[in-house]
Structure 1
């Protein structure tokens, strides 16, 4: 997960701009929440989904890559590397969803739009930045993955 988080930090340093069009991964200087998390996890060894996932398709893709759902609309003890998808599963594509990576138990890194002049990758406090009112799903990488599925390396 450190590799994925480092990738997100790299996008922050590059000052990418938020866009749900174009690459979505940061490759062309633009990215969105799910595209940048997808690219970060791919950099860390996750499988190619065939196309950039969105917040809806990310659920199944995370499970295929060794993550497990540890909380759904309930409190949990956040850890570095937790991935949280906001929005109702099956209805969270586009602006109806959001995804973040926890970098500590209180801080997240994510690609978001705040205004035309303030958008891109930010490190923020989860309490003030996460849209919990949309509903949430927390995924955590299994520390002892089975050998039958491709996995993201826990580093």
Structure 2
């Protein structure tokens, strides 16, 4: 989309040429994270010239301009794409140093952002920078409403073909320790779209999950364990595609 390209181009044109400042944030020599995104949005004709705000006001400015929040998939991972905008921090309290924002420039989680750490605009791997900053809460916006209407359940791409629910008797014994590379949800069953039994908890990247069984169900591979209360829990660790390089971490056949 031409508007997305123009937005990203504004950031790329200033990479290595400006410095980071929360005081002199309106350019042309310095910006902070949110002012840079605002100027990029203006350059892409998403916002009127003269629009400005901070990380916290960006939530409403995006929503009023046709941007929609994307939802996490069954494993708690956000399937970000080129042109998506991320905001770190909780809405209502993410202004100033409490928040951060930038733009995804590909479908492999590469972001371009104006940041204090490198004193300017740089390109980095989102999850690496996210981890360094302590895994703050994340909101991701995508332009357009058809694909990611927040009032509808979010599809997983590619959407797996539903298969009959596995029972506990079909669990396959295998013990190990899994280390996720992203946030993974803990479930009481293996239905990724179960609204009756939502995520019970989450494992963050590099935490350890000790499991004793695994199973194939609903398009995913799940590891399983019993919690301290004796309840069997399930964690989706990747698509059920017969591959080990698409697993969301290490410790399960890889």
TM over 0.5: yes
1:21 aligns with 2:36: no
Contact 2:109–2:125 (CA under 8 A) maintained in structure 1: yes
Instruction: Output one character per residue of 1:71-108: Cα deviation in whole Å (capped at 9) or x when no partner.
Output: 37x42211001100000110000000000100012200
Contact 1:86–1:134 (CA under 8 A) maintained in structure 2: yes
Which of the numbers 137, 140, 151 marks the counterpart of 2:139?
Answer: 137
Q: Match of 2:15, SS? A: helix
**Structure with max Cα Rg:** 2
Structure 2: unaligned runs, 5 residues or longer: 147-254
1:82 aligns with 2:65: no
The aligned counterpart of 2:105 is 103
Relative contact order, higher structure (CA 8 A, sep 6+): 1
Instruction: Output one character per residue of 1:30-55: Cα deviation in whole Å (capped at 9) or x when no partner.
Output: 00000000000101112238552111
| CA distance in 2 between partners of 1:102 and 1:137 (Å) | 13
Would you tell me which structure has more helix in proportion to its own residues?
Answer: 1
Q: How high is the TM-score relative to the length of structure 1? A: 0.81
The aligned counterpart of 2:161 is none
The aligned counterpart of 2:122 is 122
Q: How high is the TM-score relative to the length of structure 2? A: 0.51
The aligned counterpart of 1:11 is 14
Task: State the 4+ residue runs in structure 1 displaced beyond 4 angstroms.
Answer: none
| CA distance in 2 between partners of 1:77 and 1:51 (Å) | 29
